[in-house]
């Protein structure tokens, strides 16, 4: 069985696919990762596995002809006997683009099996495509990927963080003003001694703005430094939302934290959840999507995104849980339900079942 995962496996910050490839190879599955081979390779693949549609057509694609090419390529490969799998990371693209939306529709309606990371996604998709074939395979944890042996003291020292703070960290680029509001309002009203908020990708202003107009670059730089100064006054360490945390530095941020805060309003999945569990952290997130489903099942706090009091209650509960062994329980839960070997075996069985299906 030959499998092609359509993903450019070079210089990536999201390690979901590289780790999955490693897991599949470890159990004897012949798998390659490439976007180019999807479009040009003549080698026959039993399974072609899509991840993000943006990866296939380009993340900022404005070429409408690519849509017709995608339809033709899928039809050509299907005629050769290739089966298609799609892992549903997102319901829709994070940013509207008519071409990308169409690519989502094509892939969702063309694939032979749709993989969901939770029951929420499964139910949502079934309503839109009642005749579709669907399976549930959770998000794997990032085991044997990051340095897990760093102490909290070492992590905080490296990041210049005080050892006596209760640190709440919200990862990922803040895409909406509402997400900024969700985090800042709830943090300021959250009653906790020595609280500290770490939001490395919060600010929409940049000290290195690329705008060609000099006065706009100046305004962006001014707003950036002013915002950082104000944030510091309220025990908030913030930085520009285009900043990327390297895979080498990422574990320092997580280990330095007491609680991870998933700040999204409507989100299907988040790698921050299994990442937090791997590092024995409490995770707080919205009661929505597969995220809310997993947090409830594992006993972690959830909130209603538009309700500040609900978020404060979740943070308060998270603070209490951080004083217990709940972080270790999250780790054991993740090892049982999301281990790389277990998830890889589920994918291999999905591929095998699909090939054997008439």
pLDDT band per the 50, 70, 90 thresholds, residue 176: confident
Residue 270 has a pLDDT of: 94
Same domain, 136 and 107: yes
Integer Cα distance of 73 and 84 in angstroms = 12
Same domain, 220 and 331: yes
Same domain, 204 and 305: yes
Per the CB < 8 A criterion, the answer to whether 82 and 44 are in contact is yes
Residue 306 pLDDT exceeds 80: yes
Flag whether 327 is in a domain.
yes
Per the CB < 8 A criterion, the answer to whether 48 and 87 are in contact is no
Flag whether 145 is in a domain.
no
Helices (H) and strands (E) in the chain, counts: 15, 12
The DSSP H or E segment spanning 31 is strand 30-33
pLDDT digits (tens, 9 = 90+) for 204-226: 888 877 766 777 788 888 999 99
* Averaged pLDDT, 222-249: 92
Nearest one of 117, 110, 196, 142 to 335, comparing CA atoms: 142
Residue 60 has a pLDDT of: 78
Same domain, 118 and 160: no
pLDDT band per the 50, 70, 90 thresholds, residue 328: very high
Same domain, 229 and 246: yes
Number of folded domains in the chain? 2
* Averaged pLDDT, 232-242: 93
Q: How far is CA 203 from the centre of its chain?
A: 19
Residue 28 pLDDT exceeds 90: yes
Same domain, 210 and 91: no
Same domain, 28 and 93: yes
In terms of residues, how long is the chain? 358
Residue 108 has a pLDDT of: 97
Percent of the chain with pLDDT over 70: 99
- Report the CATH number at residue 239: 3.40.50.2000
Same domain, 162 and 25: no
Residue 242 has a pLDDT of: 84
Same domain, 333 and 350: no
Same domain, 35 and 160: no
pLDDT digits (tens, 9 = 90+) for 267-288: 999 999 999 999 999 999 999 9
Q: Which domain holds residue 192?
A: 152-337
Residue 18 has a pLDDT of: 94
pLDDT digits (tens, 9 = 90+) for 73-119: 999 999 999 999 999 999 988 777 889 999 999 999 999 999 999 99
Q: How far is CA 85 from the centre of its chain?
A: 19
Residue 36 has a pLDDT of: 93
Same domain, 54 and 107: yes
- Per mean pLDDT, which range of 160-164, 206-210, 232-236, 267-271 is the poorest? 206-210
pLDDT band per the 50, 70, 90 thresholds, residue 59: confident
Flag whether 147 is in a domain.
no
Residue 236 neighbours by CB distance under 10 Å: 21
Residue 212 has a pLDDT of: 62
């Amino acid at each position: 069985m030959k499998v092609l995962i359509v993903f450019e496996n070079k210089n990536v910050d999201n390690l979901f696919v590289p780790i999955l490839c490693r897991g599949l190879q470890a159990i004897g599955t012949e798998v390659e990762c490439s976007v180019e081979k999807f479009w040009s390779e003549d080698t026959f693949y039993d399974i072609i596995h899509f991840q993000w549609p943006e990866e296939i057509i380009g993340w900022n694609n404005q070429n409408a002809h690519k849509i017709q090419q995608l339809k033709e390529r899928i039809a050509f490969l299907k005629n050769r006997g290739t089966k298609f799998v799609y892992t549903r990371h997102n319901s829709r693209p994070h940013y509207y683009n008519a071409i990308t939306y169409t690519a989502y529709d094509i892939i969702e309606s063309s694939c032979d099996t749709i993989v969901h990371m939770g029951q929420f996604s499964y139910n949502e998709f079934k309503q839109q495509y009642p005749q579709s074939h669907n399976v549930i395979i959770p998000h794997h944890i990032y085991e044997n990927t990051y340095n897990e042996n760093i102490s909290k003291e070492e992590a905080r020292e490296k990041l210049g963080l005080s050892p006596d703070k209760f640190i709440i960290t919200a990862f990922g680029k803040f895409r909406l003003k509402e997400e900024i509001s969700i985090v800042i309002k709830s943090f300021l009203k959250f009653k906790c001694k020595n609280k500290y908020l770490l939001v490395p990708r919060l600010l929409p202003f940049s000290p290195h703005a690329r705008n060609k107009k000099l006065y706009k670059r100046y305004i962006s730089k001014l707003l950036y430094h002013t915002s950082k100064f104000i944030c510091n006054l309220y025990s908030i360490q913030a930085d520009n939302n285009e900043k990327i945390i390297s895979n080498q530095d990422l574990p320092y941020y997580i280990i330095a934290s007491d609680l991870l805060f998933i700040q999204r309003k409507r989100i299907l999945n988040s790698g921050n959840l299994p990442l937090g569990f791997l590092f024995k952290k409490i995770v707080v997130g919205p009661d929505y999507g597969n995220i809310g489903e997993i947090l409830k099942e594992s006993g972690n706090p959830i909130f209603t995104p538009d309700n500040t009091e609900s978020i404060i209650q979740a943070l308060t509960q998270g603070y209490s849980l951080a004083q217990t062994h709940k972080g270790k329980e999250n780790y054991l839960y993740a090892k049982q339900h999301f281990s790389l070997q277990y998830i890889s075996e589920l994918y291999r069985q999905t591929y095998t079942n699909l090939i054997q299906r008439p």
